[in-house]
Structure formats: C-alpha cells, structure tokens
Amino acid sequence: MRSIEIVPSVYQLTSGGTNLYVIDEQELTLIDTGLPGSVAGITDFVSRIGRSVEDIGSIIITHNHIDHIGAVQDLKSLTDAKVFIHKAALSESESDTDPSYPQGLGRLLRIPFLHRVRRHFVLEPGDVDVQLEGGEVLSPLGGLRVVPTPGHTPGSICLYAPERKLVFVGDALQRRRKKLRLPAKMVSTDMEEAVSSVKVMAELDIEIICFGHGRPLFEDAHGRLVVLIEHSGG
C-alpha cells in the first residue's frame, strides 16, 4: 500500500487505485477504508508510524461504495472504532433498493442469490455507529466539518478542515491530470445534484483537495473548482 503525507499528521494510502486517509492524532481517524482486503496494508502502515491498529477510534465514510467501505468489517473486528456515514447512504428496509448505487445495480443487489453477498458491497444501518445529518463538526484536525455533497450518491459527503484549508471529497470529484471533473455518470445517481455539490465546495476556503482516487491537488484548488462549474453550465 503506497503512502504519502499530505500535511503533517495526514496521510494518503492507496491500494488498487483507491485512496483512504489516516489522521494521526491522539487517536487515529480513518477516512474511508479502501477495497476489501485492505486491512493488512492499513495495519502495516499504522505500525510504521509507531501506532497500533487498536488506536483507530473513528472511521468516517465518504460514501457507501465497496471500494471505500471494503475493510470496515475487518476493522470493526480488530478495534473499538466508531463508524460514521451519512444517513442518506443507508437503506431503511429490506424492500429498499440500495441508495448509493444507480437504480439498476441497486435492484440487482436485492435479487435473492445476490442478496447473500450484499453486505460485502454496502454498509447497513446495523454496521454504523453514527448516522450523520450534515453540518456536524467532528473532532479531527481542529474541527472537521461534514458537508453533504450528493450526486455521486445520495449520501456522499465531503469533510472540510478549515484550519488546514483541506477538503476530502471522496468521489464527488475526479482529477484528470490537473483538471477537475464531475463524478463518472455511469456510477453516479444524479448529475444535476453533482454540479450543485461542486458549487457548495467552491464556497469553502480550500487550498488542498484530497480525492477518492488519484493524487491530491495542491495547485489553485479553488480556482479549478470555479472553472469546473463554468464548464458544467453552472
């Protein structure tokens, strides 16, 4: 698992093309957990920075897709960490389709023979300790604000650290070289909402954008958000 330090105490880990983030404070905080099987790489990394996997106190999920929640169950078995996710990311009953996936795939996961593997693809309410509403300020990084940014999924959130002028966007944005792009349409639920969410991000005082995939953006992060809005017809 590759790692880079974004700012002091904040690390990006990458495996299989998907990023997760480790915040190294009195307790460790994870933002997303990567693909299934990522727990070994996470455990190895926290050991290399002189910590233990048991030091993980919080796991904050940006959206309920398999490549971002894949190690949650393994980590829950190894730690006492609380799992946070936006309430809109969770289905409320067995008859619901999965809100985090486009409609066709959400229905597929309800087919009986696929339903058995469903828990490997999505988190259920019983897997989560805290259902976020949006607007909460969590303790990491001197205050980590939960910013709802639906579009890629109904429950997508960004996590904004004003003291560091840093935002974790999950898959609400993509980076292609130095250009920002909207999330991929084929795996997103509402592209109009995705554009509206970019406008919300552009209201933040940010200098660094950290993505669910690809390297962070340090150069003119806010200006590139504005350009994306203009090119998206906003």
224 by DSSP, 3-state: which? Answer: helix
Q: CA quadruple 69, 70, 76, 80: dihedral positive or negative?
A: negative
Predicted pLDDT at 179: 85
Stronger pLDDT, 97 or 142, i.e. the higher one = 142
**How much is the mean pLDDT over the chain?**
90
Give the class (CATH, top level) of 2-231: alpha beta
Predicted pLDDT at 98: 60
- Assess contact for 6 and 39: CB atoms under 8 A: no
pLDDT digits (tens, 9 = 90+) for 156-198: 999 999 999 999 999 999 998 778 999 999 989 999 999 999 9
Stronger pLDDT, 22 or 99, i.e. the higher one = 22
Query: Residue 60 has what DSSP assignment?
Result: E
Percent of the chain's residues with pLDDT above 70: 87
Residue ranges per structural domain of the chain: 2-231
pLDDT bin (cut points 50, 70, 90) of residue 31 is very high
pLDDT digits (tens, 9 = 90+) for 55-95: 999 999 999 999 999 999 999 999 999 999 999 999 754 44
